[in-house]
Structure 1
Amino acid sequence: MYASLRLIALTRTIFLWLLTADSEVGCIESERHALLNFKQHLIDPSERLASWSWAATDVDCCHWIGVVCHNRTGHVLQLHLRTFFPTTTEDAQWEAQYEAYERSVFSGKINPSLLDLKHLIYLDLSFNDFYYTPIPKFLGSIGSLRYLNLSYAGFGGLIPHQLGNLSNLHYLNLGGSSYYNNLYVMNLQWLSALPLLQHLDLSSANLSKASDWLQEISKLPSFLEL
């Protein structure tokens, strides 16, 4: 049984590598514009996205930091924009790493230009700081998404029911600590529209008004982890 699970995991890893390996195909021009528009509305104090530029040495957005494209079509598939929180347990090192973390977090606004990334399956904006702004409703229109991680990203307010339109979603993480998370829901009926969802994290979100949460989660046919 264990060997079979390892084989399945290895097969998936090889498939993803083949899908996203380097190639001669460049990114799609409209998607390059979408990424540049997205960058314009982000606050990037440490210039982590300096490569995202028409003036960069390599204007192929498939080579930009955090961007993964399909190796044959050039379509943008993944955006890895997480900021890594310190993991050291030593006080002196932690303080220095935390200061570096604070200098590198993204903030600002999530631009709707992401909607032009028609093949985007993976979006990770975790551990940034969007200063309690609401999760954009338009994210629910990126129907290709399979993985969405907004954990510890400083979003606040009502979790939009439009996320229930992401019928291809396997992974949804809106979790955080009570300090970082000011999200709440009125109900979780929108979850029932996510038949492929396997992982859901709503830690520290206020679910007090969602008396239906257990019933809705029990309806998910693919669900594995809460």
Structure 2
Amino acid sequence: MELYMRGLVVLSLYFLFTLATKFGCCDGHGSKALCREEEREALLSFKRSIHDPSNRLSSWASEECCNWEGVRCHNTTGHVLKLNLGWDLYQYDGSLGGEISSSLLDLKHLQYLDLSCNNFGSLHIPKFLGSLSNLRYLNLSTAGFGGVIPHQLGNLSKLHYLDIGNSDSLNVEDLEWISGLTFLEFLDMTNVNLSKASNWLQESLVSSQLGFGHDPLLQLIYLTTKSLVVFQVYIHPISISAQTISLIHCPQSLLM
């Protein structure tokens, strides 16, 4: 039993080390991280556009922005790599709102952006998010976004994870932009209205592929019904053949 526990600890430490190495992040308190002034100003501009009634971003005042709540930096260059401002729905009154400033574009090394479980009051997903070219992870789920999902998200060619599900009134006019996400491993569009995306139901798009590099993990399939209003896909790639696809039909009345 003792040997088993030691092995479990070693495996756990290895897993955590792998995650840290993948994102190259410090823990927010490392002595090596040095905040870059232009990125600090970008974050402050972002903060000014955000409605923060519970003062969650109160730490965003010190000189060292790598120590701010939700901010993680590269442990040697100090570039901001991760902005994790998702909220726990089970916690009382801490959601953010307001506008999303285009100053995020000055975070040119940003790989991870989580704004989930906030309340942006049917704000449209900003088109400029499609210009954050180094993003690997984008989570905008359950955050009150509305309107048409911008096709510019298809420019995020390095994206591995995209969750834009469970918002108030999101819809799409087409889904061709998804084919540009060639590294995508996880996609959640739960409760997104797809009724207008008739072009995706055409036979010409049967062969459109999502994949990891040049090895396809998910092939978009031909759908024969125009009543499809919810599309949900989960992929957990252990190997090329390890995949799960779930298509969910939802009554239109649920989206009113």
TM-score bin (small chain): 0.7 to 0.9
Aligned length, in residue pairs: 201
More strand by share: 2
State the 1:213 CA deviation.
Answer: 6.1
Give the percent of matched residue pairs that are identical in Structure 1 and Structure 2: 50
Q: Normalising by the residue count of structure 1, what TM-score does the alignment of the two structures yield?
A: 0.82
**Where in structure 1 are there 5+ consecutive unaligned residues?**
1-5, 87-96
Q: Distance in 1 between matches of 2:177 and 2:189?
A: 14
Match of 2:19 in 1: 13
Structure with the greater alpha carbon radius of gyration: 2
State yes or no: 1:209 paired with 2:196: yes
State the 1:195 CA deviation.
Answer: 0.7
1:124 pairs with one of 101, 114, 117: 114
Q: Distance in 1 between matches of 2:128 and 2:155?
A: 10
Label 1:71 to 1:160 Cα distance change in 2 as closer, same or farther (>3 A).
same
Match of 1:156 in 2: 146
Q: Normalising by the residue count of structure 2, what TM-score does the alignment of the two structures yield?
A: 0.72
Q: How does 1:128-143 map to 2 (within 5 A)?
A: 128-143=118-133
Cα-to-partner distance string for 1:65-101 (whole Å, 9 max, x where unaligned):
1000000000000001011011xxxxxxxxxx5xx2x
State yes or no: 1:181 paired with 2:168: yes
Q: Which amino acid is 2:192 matched to?
A: A
State the 1:13 CA deviation.
Answer: 2.4
More helix by share: 1
Q: Which is bigger in relative contact order (C-alpha 8 A, separation at least 6)? A: 1
Match of 1:65 in 2: 69
Q: Distance in 2 between matches of 1:165 and 1:140?
A: 6
The question of whether the paired residues in 2 share the 8 Å contact of 1:188 and 1:216 is answered with no
Match of 1:197 in 2: 184
Name segments (4+ residues, structure 1) moved above 6 Å: none
- Which range moved further: 208-217 or 74-83? 208-217
Label 1:10 to 1:51 Cα distance change in 2 as closer, same or farther (>3 A).
closer
Match of 1:37 in 2: 45
Q: Distance in 1 between matches of 2:23 and 2:109?
A: 17
The question of whether the paired residues in 1 share the 8 Å contact of 2:132 and 2:156 is answered with yes
